[in-house]
Chains A and B, each alone.
Chain A
Amino acid sequence: MYKLETRNANLFYGEKQALKDISIGIEPNTVTAFIGPSGCGKSSFLRCFNRMNDLIDNTTINGSFLLDGEDIYEREEVYDLRKKVGMVFQKPNPFPKSIFENVIYGLRINGIKDKDVLNERAELSLKNAALWDEVKDDLNKSALSLSGGQQQRVCIARTLAVAPTVVLMDEPASALDPISTAKIEDLIYELKSKFTIVIVTHNMQQAARVSDKTAFFYLGELIEYSDTKQIFTNPEKERTQNYVTGRFG
């Protein structure tokens, strides 16, 4: 069974249709990359999976979005859903709190107070986010004092701390320098064994490096979806070919 699946999904911002009839199935424990030129709807699509589009006025969604076979817009309480489907954003957005408080934010809002549990989870999450060794002595320092790349890994640790099964990443490395980017990419590869990851990226090489499957979007439509290797070496559609080779977009 697919971890995430959509059937004939449409998304409207007011009158404007941002996504057209998209059907896709995402396997568990894989990395799937969404690529396409700006405004093609890939980020909007990503945000449907944890209902972040609910925060925007005048959005209409139809078709089905399934998590483990169950419709996320019908059955799930949205707060539960977002704990299962975590999200990492384009710009690192640590809260103005200590590193420790950032990482356990999700546990705090769930009312977990047990110190041992909090410490244990913070350490595990920071280790999962490959940040533990760099910050283990400064857990009480403000997360804002860290570098951009470290901040982004704090945000990843924060997302992992509530034990989601899916992690959505919206251009997680686009605001970072190449070294931090490489760290995040290594991390994504590591995380695949425990989580299902969907990543939106503008960087072709990044998509080629980290993902198992790639979906190419153009003007709100899913043009092509298959193994990453095939998309980048032998795509079926000419438009995909033109985009991945840099001839447009």
Chain B
Amino acid sequence: MDKHLAISKKKDKFFRILALSLTVFALLILLVLLVDIFWRGFGRLNWGFFNNLPSRHPEKAGILTAIAGMLSLLLFTVIIALPIGILAGVYLQEYRAKNRFAKIVEINIANLAGVPSVIYGILGLQLFVRMAGMGNSLLAGAFTLALLIMPIIIVSTREALKAVPQSLREGSYGMGATKWQTTSRVVIPSALGGILTGIILSISRAIGETAPLLVIGALVYVPFIPEGPNDQFTTLPIQIFNWVSRPQAGFIVNAAAGIIILLLITFLLNGIAIYIRNKWYKKMKY
């Protein structure tokens, strides 16, 4: 018996060390990448870099149009994806009949969240750029990205609603509230923290997307800030992609600086998401 215990303890220790070293290994690689990026790009971060239009000369090139394009793209994406995604999530979680068809819909939406983004690009190219005649415009990009993040919003909305205790719903029904009163006044407000977190995470997913936008024909060189939904556009990841593929060393530096900005924006968004989640969970201590 003692011998068995000794072996168990050894195994325990072994797996702890294994897990620790693998974690450290993963973090190290990440660290190397980060240090490398900052080493190359940090010196390039100055006002001109933010404020200049793209250029053939690396030292004159800036990310103004890429940032502007990205922000307007995100704005339109969110306007399109949010209402549909949230309402679909509410419907699936609170309203749908629990039959086979609903089950199939449910599984397929979860699968959609895992479809490679370039597939959405191809869909967007045919559906929005060509059939709907939007061309390679901001709007076509926004619709494509909206399709891409909608499953994430739906799934996270459902998870947030699922976490609302049944006792709250019963409390509301017990007062004579209708389904919609219960959902809109009790269930959704209780789940708002989780829903917001999901939205922000889906936005940070959309920020990093390059492939579907390239497929639908987002330009790599846009010397103007988009002024309306029908304008052509570029985004920061595309700009970075473009710079990386140039032969001049100066563009590599630009790319590194662009990556730093992109990382900061993503960190910021994720940080906000975590902050909201923690604050909400503290408030909703069930």
Contacts and interface: CB of A to CB of B under 8 A. Distances in A.
A5 B10 CA distance: 68
Contacts of A105: 172, 175, 177, 185
B42 to A, nearest CB: 44
A79 B177 contact: yes
A96 B189 contact: yes
B285 interface: yes
B171 A89 contact: yes
A122 interface: no
Interface in B166-225: 167-178, 181, 185-186, 189-190
A93 B175 contact: no
B90 to A, nearest CB: 17
Contact of A155 (B171, B189, B283): B171
Given A79-B178, A83-B175, A93 B283 contact: no
B176 A82 contact: yes
A159 interface: yes
| Interface residue tally on A, bucketed by range | 20 to 34
A89 B189 contact: no
A144 interface: yes
A52 B175 contact: no
B280 to A, nearest CB: 9
B176 A144 contact: no
Interface in B85-130: 98
B271 interface: no
Given A109-B181, A142-B283, A144-B285, A52 B176 contact: no
B175 A158 contact: yes
B176 A80 contact: yes
A83 B173 CA distance: 10
B189 A82 contact: no
B178 A95 contact: no
Interface string A81-102: 1110011010101111100000
A126 interface: no
Given A93-B167, A95-B186, A96-B190, A144 B175 contact: no
The listed residue with most B CB atoms (<10 A of its CB), out of A87, A97, A109, A158, is A109
B83 interface: no
A109 B174 contact: no
A52 B182 CA distance: 14
Contacts of A97: 189
A94 B172 CA distance: 10
A96 B285 CA distance: 9
Contacts of A94: 171
B173 A52 contact: yes
Interface of A: 50, 52, 55, 57, 78-83, 86-87, 89, 91, 93-97, 105-106, 108-110, 142, 144, 155, 158-159, 162
Given A95-B190, A109-B176, 4 more contacts: A82-B173, A89-B174, A97-B189, A159-B175
